[in-house]
Structures are given as structure tokens and as C-alpha cells.
Structure 1
Amino acid sequence: MSIDEVATAAASGAAATERFHSDKSPYAAVRDTPPERVNLLAREILGAVHDTIRRHHVTYDEYNAFKAWMIQVGEDGEWPLFLDVWTEHVVEDVNTSHRRGNKGTIEGPYYVPGAPEQGADGVIPMRDGEHGTPLTWEGAITSTDGTPLAGTIELWHADDDGYYSQFAPGIPEWNLRGTFTTGSDGRFRIRTIQPAPYQIPTDGACGALIDAAGWHSWRPAHLHVKVAAEGHEQLTAQLYFPGDAHNDDDIADAVKPELILAPVTQPDGSVHVDYGFVLDPA
């Protein structure tokens, strides 16, 4: 049975929800938040909902459909998908607006910590005969003053069919997931494949919203990274490819001009990219 026949939104959503619970401790970080802050945020969020209901005269039928849909999002395990696709980009903008180094963007729901170490010059784990155009990526990690930094780049991305390991069946655990650690010169060279654009899962509650609203479900092809170095702010970003049909209308609204690569096709048909990272001091 092919991956296409068995991968479902519910299965991907359940995996994303389970991963979120196992990898993050969100309440610990906000345990000491003053009640005044909680009151402010909760009232303003609810106030925005109330205002929408009043301005558009929401009917009971619409309200009940919305309630049923919210329940279905939870049953499908799609809250991580829903929030990361339609909300996270604003949270990211607000929290990184002070930075002078590289622009970042959303993490998305498919990050997994602990990807295998590949050194500063390595090949990302992949299957024999992995489909996709071979991609060699070179660059360096530096501070905002130009100083090279010893650091790490966690890289993960979808395969040529648009699927992520650990979130779709039939794919090796760490496929297209790797950690690359640079020396004091900050230099790295990574060999992987160029990912393809893909649709977010559409057979669950998020897909029902997309269909009802007449939206599309496409994300442009992208590489996910987390870049870290001692004494500097961690950077989370996605890197995109020029000419993608959905760079201008990404369903997750996560594309920024500074994150679009400039790949060069080589005589053998592979692609070469030069792109480095400038991190802000912490």
C-alpha cells in the first residue's frame, strides 16, 4: 500500500498533537503570568469573537456549525496544524521584530528534536534513491558583527511527495532530518534534495474549513531550519525557492522575501545554494 493510500489528516494530526505534548512544556514558561495579563488577553480575544458575531449577525445555525467544527478539530488532532498554519506567523513577527540578523518564520507542526548529527560537511539521512533534485547548500553562521560562530543547524523538510518522516507512514524515522554542527569558522556544507510544494492535510477539519471558505491548501517548497550558537538568539526559519507558484499566496502566510534562496543549477542537473545565517546576540 502506498503512502498516499494510508496517510490521513487524522493520523498526521494525532502525531503532531502527541509530538507537541512530548516535546514542549508550554505551561511551565507562563506559570507566573500575572492574572491581569491573562485577563487582558482572554477578554480581548473573546471581544474580537463577540464583535465578529455582532457585526455579521451570526445565526444559531452558523454558531452550531462552528461549534461542531471546533470539536472536530480536536477529535482530528489538528489544533497544532490549525494554529501553526493560520496564527503562528503573527506570533513569530511580534517576537522577532527587534532582530538585526536573519529573518525567521514559523516552525510549523512537524519539527522533531534530536535529529542525527552529521558534522559540518555532511549528507542528510535519506533513503537509497531518494526522489528529488540533489541540492548542495553552503554557508556560514556569523554574529551581527560578522564574527564566525560555532553552532548547529537543525534541518528538516518534506520529501518529493510532500510527506514528513514521523508524521506519515512508511518513511524511515529520521528521513530528511539532520543536525549539522559547525566549527569555529562557522562554515557548513549540507547535501540533501530539493523538496516539493505540498498541500496541508485536507481530509480533516482544517480541510473542511479550506473547502468551505474557497481557499487553496498549498504550501510552497521549503527547507525548515533551527540555527543556534552560544550566546545568541536561536533562529527558526523556512527557506523557499524562486518561481514557486505559491510563494505569493502561501496558505500559512510564512514566506518573506529575505528567505527566498538563489539556487544555481549545475551541469549535472543538481542545484547549488549559498545562504548563511546572521544571529543576534542574546
Structure 2
Amino acid sequence: MTDTITEQATAAASGAAATEQFRNKQRTETAGVDTRRVDTLVSELLAAAHDIIRRHKVTYAEYDVLKSWLIQVGEDGEWPLFLDVWLENVVEEVAGENREGSKGTIEGPYYIPDAPILPAEATLPMRDGEEGTPLLFQGQVTSVDGTPLSGATVDIWHADNDGYYSQFAPGLPEWNLRGTVIADDQGHFKIHTIEPAPYQIPTDGSCGRLIAAAGWHAWRPAHLHLKVSAPGHQLITTQLYFQGGSYVEDDIASAVKPELILAPTPVADGDGSEVTHDFVLDKG
């Protein structure tokens, strides 16, 4: 099962899926453009690039390598991957700097909306005999004043035990390890799933060539993705990591925050682990 996925989960295929998903999102979330903001941001970005060229005496040979690489990023469909891995963490930091409730972090390129609706206690869709350590992820959603948020939505998705996401790798069921859980009248939820694995971002395309050229590693730590929302409150997008896991200290996407690290414990009677993590939402 996993050999087929490993052979075919290429950067080009993953990039094409991420690009199409982003385009679909933009069709419904297009914001007005302030020309003064565009002028300021682009002018300062270009000024920073000019400064780098002058300080490091960039040669024409180096410039041509950069130009060729930028063209190839587009041809590989890897702009969503590049931007989400190396820039989104700072955009998220600015967007959430005044938040009083739970910490957020990047969405990443692998979110798919409209996952199956599930009750407050539910098992995520998965294959028969899904590999991985069983995990019970549970908690409560409240407002910043402590009020339980009845019917809060906990949208969750994550990679499988081999580090692959459904709809971004062949051979996986459409909604594998994806679900939209509706909390109970006290904001509680219990989600049965498996612990995801760390994974490399695709390395056979342009982003992989950059990583190799810079001598970096390409790994993300194991994590759960979540979007948590409730009427009258701000949506929180976050990722939760696992204490002691590989790459937690040097995530290629620089998305780990101390508040987002889970410490699961073995279940009292049976196989697997469990962890409780609550979400506090700011009022909208």
C-alpha cells in the first residue's frame, strides 16, 4: 500500500493540488487591493533585495541561477509550498499578535474545506487497519471569559503514519484522516485518530533544490492541523506537535511554538495514547 504512494507522491503532483486548492479559495476570498499598500510593500521588498545584491556583490552568474530557479518554481507549481514553508509563519505571527486566546500557527498547503461532519465524539475516517499509534485527542472550546462554546467546530486534518495527506498523494481515500467535529453543548470534543508521522516536504522539485543548495533539512515534525471556530468568535488556525518528537526543535517551516506542544500519555486500558488540549477563542 505505502510503496505505491511513496513512488507516486511527487512534488509536481502535490504542488499542482496545492495550487488548485489555493485558486479555489481565492475565488471566494478575494479582498480589495489598496494601491498604497501594494506600493509600500513591493517597494520595500525590492529595496531589501537591492540591498542584498549590493552587500553581497551578487554576480550575473548567481543572478541567472536565481532567475532560472524562480521560473522553475512556477513550472513545478511549488509557489504555495515555498510561501507556506518560508513566509507564512511570519504573516501568521503578525495576524495573531493581539490575540488573547489560543495560539495559532500556519495553515500550510494541505487544507481541504468541507470535510465530513462528525459528532462530538468521533473517529476520523480511515482505512481498515490504518497504521500508526491510536490517539485520543480531546478537549473543550471556550471563549476568553471561560464560557463553553456550544456546537463549536473543530476542523482537523493530518498526515498518516507514512507522512502523506489524503488528496495530495495517490492511493489514499478522499477524506482519510480529515473531519469536521461539532463539539457538544459544553464545547467538549473527543476525536479518535492515529498519531501522524514527521514528513519531508517534497524534495524532487524546486524547493528541494533550494534546500539541497543551502544545506538545510526538509523535515516537518509530526503534527495535527486544526481550524477551530464558533459563532461570534474569531477562527483559530493552528498545528499541534508532540513533545520529544523529531524536528520539533528545527522545523523547516519555523511554525512550532511552545504552547502548541502536546504531551500524550498512554491510555489506562488498551493500546495507544491520549491527550487533552483546550481551545480558547477570542470574540469576533
Alignment TM-score, normalising by the size of structure 1: 0.97
- In 2, the alpha carbon distance for the partners of 1:109 and 1:67 equals 24
Structure 1 residue 182: Cα displacement: 1.2
Unaligned runs of at least 5 residues, structure 2: none
Per-residue CA deviation, residues 89-130 of structure 1 (Å, 9 max, x unaligned), is 000000000011000000000000000011111010000000
Structure 1 residue 28: Cα displacement: 2.4
- In 2, the alpha carbon distance for the partners of 1:63 and 1:98 equals 39
Q: How many residues align?
A: 280
| 2:25 matches 1:23 | yes
- In 1, the alpha carbon distance for the partners of 2:179 and 2:89 equals 24
What secondary structure is seen at the aligned counterpart in 2 of 1:69? helix
Per-residue CA deviation, residues 197-253 of structure 1 (Å, 9 max, x unaligned), is 110000000000000000000000000000000010000000000001211100000
Q: How does 1:238-253 map to 2 (within 5 A)?
A: 238-253=239-254
- In 1, the alpha carbon distance for the partners of 2:23 and 2:120 equals 31
Structure 1 residue 184: Cα displacement: 2.3
- In 1, the alpha carbon distance for the partners of 2:139 and 2:26 equals 30
Structure 1 residue 269: Cα displacement: 3.2
Letter in 2 for 1:202: T
| 2:228 matches 1:230 | no
Corresponding residue of 1:4: 6
Letter in 1 for 2:276: D
| 2:98 matches 1:98 | yes
Unaligned runs of at least 5 residues, structure 1: none
Percentage of identical aligned residues: 62
Following TM superposition, the consecutive aligned residue runs of length 4 or more in structure 1 with deviations greater than 4 angstroms are none
Per-residue CA deviation, residues 154-201 of structure 1 (Å, 9 max, x unaligned), is 000000000000011110100000000013210100000000111000
What secondary structure is seen at the aligned counterpart in 2 of 1:227? strand
- In 2, the alpha carbon distance for the partners of 1:44 and 1:27 equals 26
Corresponding residue of 2:60: 60
Structure 1 stretch displaced more, 7-16 or 260-269: 260-269
Structure 1 stretch displaced more, 240-249 or 85-94: 240-249
Corresponding residue of 1:146: 146
CA RMSD, 1 decimal: 1.1
- In 1, the alpha carbon distance for the partners of 2:235 and 2:167 equals 24
- In 1, the alpha carbon distance for the partners of 2:85 and 2:68 equals 20
What secondary structure is seen at the aligned counterpart in 1 of 2:174? coil
Corresponding residue of 1:194: 195
Structure 1 residue 36: Cα displacement: 1.6
